Amino acid sequence: MNITLVYESHEQQNATALLLVDAGFTVNQAFPLSSQWVHTSQQQPPDMLVIVVTRPTSDVLQQLKNLREQPVCPVIVIAYRAEADVTRSTILAGADTCITGRISADRIQSFIEVACIRFELTQGMQKTIHDLKEQIESLESRLNERRDIDRAKGLLMSLHKMSEDDAFNAMRRMAMDTGNKLGDIARNLISMSKVLN
């Protein structure tokens, strides 16, 4: 697993790297918290991002939110100072899991598994939401087109004393003759009626 470590101090970097090594992992890259680690992670995504701080500052939480806009890998935050609401605010900002206080090598594995599963589930949910939005947009477009066709049919029926079938067939012939979609023909007829009126 390609782990990138983002650290606040060299002491935290060394302690966390040793913890991960003891748990059977290798830290491939390490960046200070003051670096452009969000940009680097988005350009060259690691398999796992581990951020180690004394406590997450508002700047760290904002960087997590920025990373969440283009999520690339599971994110674990290790906060050495266990304070109220640290876990909640860190996860709401975009981390997949947050560890507060000291942790042993035998427990880091389970946190990494949780982070990976949560990241995978989040990605799946985001794809589902994206697909649902596309379906809704498609349905709205079809509904609007259906409404335009019905309105244009009504205009033809009213102006030319046509039956509903005759009005629809006339619009369909116009669409075939011009190579346009039926919805476009309907919108053109509606526009023309507004100009004439």
Averages of pLDDT over each 10 residues, the chain, 197 residues: 92 91 90 91 91 92 89 92 84 91 83 90 87 93 93 91 92 92 92 80
Q: Clarify whether residues 10 and 84 are in a common domain.
A: yes
Q: Clarify whether residues 97 and 182 are in a common domain.
A: no
**Which phi and psi (to 5°) does residue 180 adopt?**
-100, 165
6: closest CA among 65, 52, 62?
Answer: 52
In a domain, 126, yes or no: no
33: domain CATH number is: 3.40.50.2300
Residue type, 138: S
In a domain, 163, yes or no: yes
Q: Clarify whether residues 99 and 142 are in a common domain.
A: no
pLDDT of residue 1: 86
Give the model confidence (pLDDT) of 19-77 as tens digits: 999 888 989 999 999 999 988 888 889 999 999 999 999 999 999 998 888 888 999 99
Interacting residues of 50 by C-beta distance below 8 A, sequence separation 6+: 3, 4, 5, 6, 16, 20, 27, 75, 76, 78
pLDDT of residue 197: 67
The whole model's pTM is what? 0.69
Strand 48-53 to strand 2-7: parallel, antiparallel, or no bridges (unpaired)?
Answer: parallel
Q: Clarify whether residues 93 and 172 are in a common domain.
A: no
Torsion of the alpha carbons at 43, 49, 55 and 56, rounded to the nearest 10? 40
151: domain CATH number is: 1.10.10.10
Count of structural domains, the chain: 2
pLDDT of residue 166: 92
What range does the domain containing 148 cover? 131-196
